[in-house]
Structure 1
């Protein structure tokens, strides 16, 4: 029995359970904060699955399309029976229902409830999957096993803080797709042409799906160049990036044409909003309810101080390709943030999420190798 509990398989089981528990806590932090924009028709999940949401929200159709497809494949009688069960009014007071203590939830609308539940659990699955993908990315970057395991957990718990001024289900898929794209682009096995072609083909598929989920991948594709350059020539790496941008652009144009008649605009143009936000010292100390407690916002002095320390410690350990990726992501994401993001909307800096989690892993590696907790508190003992 002791041999079983000390086995690699059992340790992996424990790690998986830990990831599930932390992902559930982080996802609950998001859901209790924003839900799925229930009742907010311009961007609610109900309007997304019905295709009536305002632009640009309606363009984020990956998860809604899956939910619509699954429901369409089911017999009408089954859909009706499941919908009646899921929208039973008694579920408002039941811990087994998504609408617990929230009768206005669209999870209680019979025509939407099944698709609502499908998107809900797909989104949780995307968050959980992204934790494993981020761990693999941290290991590939050179972090220690302990740090690579811990960093995604820390990031997951921080994510609801970054979902400030808004938080959407497609934000979680975005994290997963960006991380997978980096893993696929980094160190393409050029000495094995078949494997290289397969990996690049899979990268192209990820690019298309990621753009279907959120059009921002069109810009994120450019940040993959430093990883591709590790294995490919300048010409080939640029060609792959160009192909990814083309694929993402085609998907985006198709979505624009499909929903051209929806209200709203192609983008939410808010130039300078965040410049004024940061110039106001009071904004650096704002709070909001996260995990049910009034805590600092995602773009607060406390969060910036934490990120600055992690970045300063982890930067020197980053591989050269990842450093270039971070700089490229900053050059791409920050101008977009200043032009299109609402005031203090930290989630619009999402292209920096992979950089942050790897910097965390590198910082943790450095602190652990320097002496663990004793080094982190200055070596003082109680």
Structure 2
């Protein structure tokens, strides 16, 4: 019996269970805060799956397209039967229903209820997959196993804080795709041309899906250059980035053409909004309900202090390519944030999530090693 509970398989089971529970808690924190924008017609899930949402929200079609595709594979009679059961009014007060105590939820609308549930659970699985990928990134960065295991848990629990002034299902897929892209760009196996080509093709596919999910990935691919340089020459690494930009651009143009007739605009241009926001000292101490409790907002003095400490401790311990990745991510994301983000909208700094992750993993490594060191003995007087 002891051998079983001490086996590698059982430890993996515990790790999966831990990640599953934390992912569920983090996702519930998001859902109770924003739901799936139920009732907000310009960007509600019902509008997204039906393709009638305003631009630019309607461009974020990866998860809605998956839900539409899965529903399309089922016989119409099965869809009607499942939808009727899911939309049963008795589920409003049922602990098994997404509409619990919220009868206005779009989960209760028979035409979209199955797709609503599909997007809900696909989003949760995206978060869980992102956490597993983040752990791999931390290990590759050189973090200790305990720190590499802990950092994704902390990041998952922080996500509902960063989803301030808005939160969407595609934010979780974005984290997953960024993590996958980083892992694929890390040390292309150039000694094996077949494997290298396969890795690059897979990276291009991830870039295409990521842009289908959120057009901002077009800019994120530039941050992969330092990681590609681990195994590729400058020219080849730049060529791969250029190819990825081309793939992302083609996907984005296709989406723009497909939804050209939808209301709204291609971008939300808000230059200077955040400069004015942060000039007001009161905004640094604002709170909002996260996890059902009034807690600091994602861009508050408390959060900035936390990030500053993690960055100071973790920076010097990062491998050089990751430090370069962080610098490129800052150079790309901050100007976009200042030009297009709403006031205090921390989620528009999402390209920095991987940067915060690796800095946190390295800081945790340092802190855990310090805590494990024996205290110095007092000398004899």
Q: TM-score normalised to the size of structure 2? A: 0.98
In the TM superposition, residue 372 of structure 1 has moved relative to its aligned partner by 4.1
**Which residue number corresponds to residue 212 of structure 1?**
212
The change in CA–CA distance for 1:248 and 1:374 in structure 2 (over 3 A counts) is: farther
How far apart in 1 are the matches of 2:374 and 2:250? Answer: 53
**Which residue number corresponds to residue 124 of structure 2?**
124
1:371 match: secondary structure: helix
Could you give the per-residue CA deviations for residues 31-86 of structure 1, whole angstroms, max 9, x where no partner exists?
Answer: 00000000000000000000000000000000000100111111010000000000
How far apart in 1 are the matches of 2:83 and 2:237? Answer: 49
**Which residue number corresponds to residue 308 of structure 2?**
308
Higher mean alpha-carbon deviation, 184-193 vs 125-134, is at: 184-193
How far apart in 2 are the matches of 1:50 and 1:371? Answer: 53
1:100 match: secondary structure: coil
**Which residue number corresponds to residue 162 of structure 1?**
162
Pairs aligned (count): 377
1:267 match: secondary structure: coil
**Which residue number corresponds to residue 22 of structure 1?**
22
Could you give the per-residue CA deviations for residues 312-371 of structure 1, whole angstroms, max 9, x where no partner exists?
Answer: 000011000000000000000000000000000000000000111111110000011112
**Which residue number corresponds to residue 260 of structure 1?**
260
How far apart in 2 are the matches of 1:112 and 1:242? Answer: 39
Unaligned 5+ segments in structure 1 are none
2:289 match: secondary structure: strand
In the TM superposition, residue 123 of structure 1 has moved relative to its aligned partner by 0.1
**Which residue number corresponds to residue 97 of structure 2?**
97
**Which residue number corresponds to residue 60 of structure 2?**
60
Could you give the per-residue CA deviations for residues 85-137 of structure 1, whole angstroms, max 9, x where no partner exists?
Answer: 00000000000000000000000000000000000000000000000000000
**Which residue number corresponds to residue 319 of structure 2?**
319
In the TM superposition, residue 373 of structure 1 has moved relative to its aligned partner by 9.6
In the TM superposition, residue 192 of structure 1 has moved relative to its aligned partner by 1.1
1:370 match: secondary structure: helix
**Which residue number corresponds to residue 146 of structure 2?**
146
How far apart in 1 are the matches of 2:211 and 2:352? Answer: 17
In the TM superposition, residue 374 of structure 1 has moved relative to its aligned partner by 8.7
1:317 match: secondary structure: coil
Q: TM-score normalised to the size of structure 1? A: 0.97
1:230 match: secondary structure: coil
How far apart in 1 are the matches of 2:181 and 2:335? Answer: 22
Unaligned 5+ segments in structure 2 are none
Q: CA RMSD in A?
A: 1.3
How far apart in 2 are the matches of 1:371 and 1:69? Answer: 51
1:325 match: secondary structure: helix
